[in-house]
Structure 1
C-alpha cells in the first residue's frame, strides 16, 4: 500500500518536477499524503480552473444551502456589517479565498456607497479565478482600489504585514473555517492573529449545526456535481503530475456525523489497482475500497464559535445570522 519511489532521493524528484514544469509543492504534498494511513490529499488542490468552475456550480445547487444562506445574510445586513468594520479611517479589506467574489461584491458596493476609505486585497490559491475576479471588478466597480495576491493565505498575510501598513479587516467567508482537521481551525485563527494588530477585525463564515439530513444532502447532491468536483482532483493529478488514474475506477463518498458535527469526504478505489505517476517515476497501490480522505467540513454551535475566538485572541463582536440559524458570519475584534 505504500508509495514506492523509484528515484534515489527526494532532491532528484524535486529536480525532475522542476525540469518538467510541474509544481514541486503539489508533487511533494501528494507524495506525502498518499504515504499516510489513511491516504489523504489536501482539499486546497481541488481548485484548479475546472475545480473552481465546478464549485461555482455546487454553490447554485438547491441542496447546497451555505452559499445561498450567507448571500442572504450579506444582502440583508450589509450596512450593519460595514459599519462594524469602522469607517472613520483607512483600512485594507483582505479576503482569504476570494474566489469569484460574488458575495463580497455586496459588501464592496456598500462600502463604496458609504464612501469608506479602503483597499480591497483578494487572496486565492487559484491564479485563474483571481484573473476573472480582477477583470469583473474593473468592469463592475471601476472606482475600487485593489491589489490581489495569488498564493497561500499566510504568505499573503506576511506580504501584507511587510508591505501594507495600516488597519486591516480580514474576510474568511463561506464555511472554509470548517475544512481543517481537528484543531486546525484554532491553529488557523491563531496564525492569522500573528499578522494582525489590536483593533483589527476578522469576519469569518461558520456553518451552524442543524438537521443532519440537510447537511448530508448538501455534500452529496442528486445531480452528482459534488462527485465530479471531488473526482476532478484526480484529473488534475493526471494532467499536472503525469498520473494515470482511471476515474471510472474511483468514486466519491461522503457522510455526516451529528455527534462530532463533521462531514467527511473521500475518493474511494473500487478495486485493487496501481496508479503510476510517470512524470515523477513512482507508483501507488490501492486495495479494493481503500479511501483517500480529501476534506472535512465542521459544523459549529454559537458557544463553540465564541470559545474558538477567545482561544485565538479574538473577541466576538457580532453574530450576523439568518432566520433559520443555518449559517453565521461572525465578526471578531483582535485583542
Structure 2
C-alpha cells in the first residue's frame, strides 16, 4: 500500500524559485549555481551512472558496510514499529539491503522516502514495490526538513532516519549544523539516524572520483547549463565551459566549478538578463566536504545525538554512523 504526498510548491512556484536562484547566483561576484538544480530527469540519470562508476569509490564502500553490518544495525534498532525515513533515496539499492534485513527479522515499519525530485521518488517506489511486495509506503515529494516536520505532525511512531551516501557533505559547515539541529527537533528521544560520512583520504583518490575517466561528472555538471537553456530559455554554449574539480586542502572539501573558456555574454530570456563571463571565470556548482572522525563526533554531540556505532569499510574510506537522539 503506497501513498504519495506532494509538499513542495506547485510547478509555477518551483520555476519562479529557479529564476530567482539563477538570477542571484549568476549576479554575484563569485558566480554560483545551487547543486539542488542538478536533478532534473537527465541529471538524475547521470548521477545514477556516476554512483555505479568504478572511479567513484563511495558507493562500493557503503554497499560493503551495509552488507557486512545490516544484521547488527537491525538488532540495535530493537523490535518497536518505526518509520523508515529515507532522505534522498536515489536508486534505493542501499536501502533495499536494510529493508530485506528488517523483513527477515520480522520488523514492522513504514517506508518513507523523501525527495525533492519526483523522478527519484517514482523510481525508488517502483523498485521497492517490485522487490518487496506489501510494504506500506508514504512517499513525500518534499524538501527533507519539510518532510520531517510533516511526519512529526502526522505520525506518532518512532523513527529511523537514513541519510546515506555523502549527501551531508554537500552542505557548508554552518548549514550542516543547522540541518542536524533542526532534524533533531523533529525526532523523538530514542529515535535513530544512520548517516554517511566520506572520510578524508589520499587526494589522488578523491580527484579521480570527482573527475571520472568516462566524463560522467563533467556531463553532470554541464547539464546544469543545459537545464537553464531548457527551463529558462537560456543561451549557454555548453562547449564554451569546462568542468573543473579540485580539492581544497584548507577546508577538506572537493569543489566543482564550470570555467568559462572565453569572454562571453549569455542571455537568459526568462530573466530578461544577459550575464557576462570573463575568460576562465568560474561558476561554483558543488562542494563535497570530507570528514575527520573527530568532526563526526562533534557534529553528533552538538546536535544532541549520541553515537551508537561507527561502521567502516575495510579500507577506512567511509563511515555509516548510527546515532540516537538524546
TM-score range, shorter chain: over 0.9
Q: CA separation in 2, counterparts of 1:143 and 1:113?
A: 14
2:49 corresponds to: 57
Q: CA separation in 1, counterparts of 2:14 and 2:174?
A: 31
Mapped pair 1:77 → 2:69: yes
Q: How does 1:1-335 map to 2 (within 5 A)?
A: 23-86=15-78, 88-335=79-326
| Structure 1 gaps, min length 5 | 1-17
Q: CA separation in 2, counterparts of 1:206 and 1:61?
A: 19
Q: CA separation in 2, counterparts of 1:59 and 1:50?
A: 15
Q: CA separation in 2, counterparts of 1:21 and 1:317?
A: 41
Give the Å deviation of 1:259: 4.2
Aligned CA RMSD, in angstroms, stands at 1.5
Residue by residue, what CA displacement relative to the aligned partner does 1:126-161 show, whole Å, maximum 9, x if unpaired? 101211211122211112111111121111111111
Change beyond 3 A, Cα 1:22–1:316: closer
* TM norm structure 1: 0.91
Q: Does the Cα contact within 8 Å between 1:126 and 1:150 map onto a contact in 2?
A: yes
Moved over 4 A (4+): 18-22
Q: Does the Cα contact within 8 Å between 2:260 and 2:277 map onto a contact in 1?
A: yes
**Secondary structure at 2:271 match in 1:** coil
2:4 corresponds to: none
Q: CA separation in 1, counterparts of 2:270 and 2:249?
A: 42
Give the Å deviation of 1:283: 2.0
* TM norm structure 2: 0.94
Q: Does the Cα contact within 8 Å between 1:234 and 1:247 map onto a contact in 2?
A: yes
Q: CA separation in 1, counterparts of 2:259 and 2:151?
A: 40
**Secondary structure at 2:137 match in 1:** coil
Q: CA separation in 2, counterparts of 1:287 and 1:85?
A: 54
Give the Å deviation of 1:27: 1.4
Q: CA separation in 2, counterparts of 1:26 and 1:20?
A: 10
Q: How many matched pairs?
A: 317
**Secondary structure at 2:280 match in 1:** coil
| Structure 2 gaps, min length 5 | 1-9
